[in-house]
Amino acid sequence: MSFIKTKGFVIQSIAYRDSNRLLKLLTPEHGLITCSAQGAKSRKSTLRVASNPFVFAEFELFYYRERYRVQAASIIDAYLPLMEDIKRLTCVSHLAELVLDVLRDNAKGKTSYPFWAYASYKITTDSDPILMTNLAQLKYLSEQGFAPWINNCLICGKEFSAQGARFYFAEGGAICEQISCRKNIGSSSIMDLSLGSLAALSYLIHNPYEKCFNMQLSEQIRQEIINFSERYLTFVMEKSYQKLDMIKSLENFEQGNVK
Ligand SMILES: [Zn+2]
């Protein structure tokens, strides 16, 4: 039996039996851990708020027989603005789903804790949470070993011209406009990327969080990056993330072009 004090983000909170909650906590030293918070649903519980999704708190945990139990928690940031903004909340929920999927096989997944700290903060506070979410998922996939190859042509190695490049999802990389490079690659799952989008993607992949989430993008490049990010996520994770659809309909609704 041991006693652990750790900071952590609640990535998921699931009610179970009477008044308990099962939490997935993302912590700096222990990675993603599953903890029971007994009685946390009860009105009187001191764990009631600290066990809400996306709260950042300092947790006191008991570890016994490979299980963690929350003894006490003091909230550092309850992310309250998030709870009042359905769009930002949907964005963070979407990102949480991705992080949980990635960490399912490797709970220690390097960089996940600082990544979550930056990304959830930016999604909560930036004026464009949808762009932040799409940048964040590309950044996270890249860090977890799934970076798209966009530095130069996957086939000939030449730098891209002003014409940009064509991204081949099945190859995980971009290919220049030369016919000799494109002739042997199938035509399914492709997307054209402008030189501006390629530069933005490269900047995102190669820079630290404090820089890469602060890019100024033109509307055209912003849309290209979002389209690419959505398709790349589905391709890499081999899964369709439903919450993105919700985000899209929210954006369409705001732009007044609901179908
Ligand atoms: Zn080439």
pLDDT at position 249 is 79
pLDDT at position 180 is 92
pLDDT per position as a tens digit, 204-215: 999 999 999 999
pLDDT per position as a tens digit, 148-181: 999 999 999 999 999 999 999 999 999 999 999 9
201 alpha carbon – ligand 1 mean position (Å): 19
Select from 2.40.50.140, 3.40.50.720, 2.40.160.40, 1.20.1560.10 the CATH code of 2-78: 2.40.50.140
pLDDT at position 188 is 76
Contact 91, 132 (CB under 8 A): yes
Which whole number is the average pLDDT over 94-108?
91
Q: Residue 186: pLDDT above 80? A: no
185 alpha carbon – ligand 1 mean position (Å): 11
Bridge partners for 63 per DSSP: 2, 68
- What's the token pair of residue 128? 């464009």
236 alpha carbon – ligand 1 mean position (Å): 23
179 alpha carbon – ligand 1 mean position (Å): 8
157 alpha carbon – ligand 1 mean position (Å): 6
165 alpha carbon – ligand 1 mean position (Å): 9
158 alpha carbon – ligand 1 mean position (Å): 6
66 alpha carbon – ligand 1 mean position (Å): 52
Q: What are the start-end ranges of the H helices in the chain?
A: 80-83, 86-103, 112-125, 129-141, 179-182, 195-206, 209-212, 219-237, 243-254
146 alpha carbon – ligand 1 mean position (Å): 21
Domain parsing of the chain, residue ranges: 2-78, 87-254
The model carries a pTM of 0.92
153 alpha carbon – ligand 1 mean position (Å): 5
The CATH superfamily holding the domain 87-254 is Recombination protein O, C-terminal domain (1.20.1440.120)
pLDDT at position 257 is 61
196 alpha carbon – ligand 1 mean position (Å): 18
Q: Residue 258: pLDDT above 60? A: no
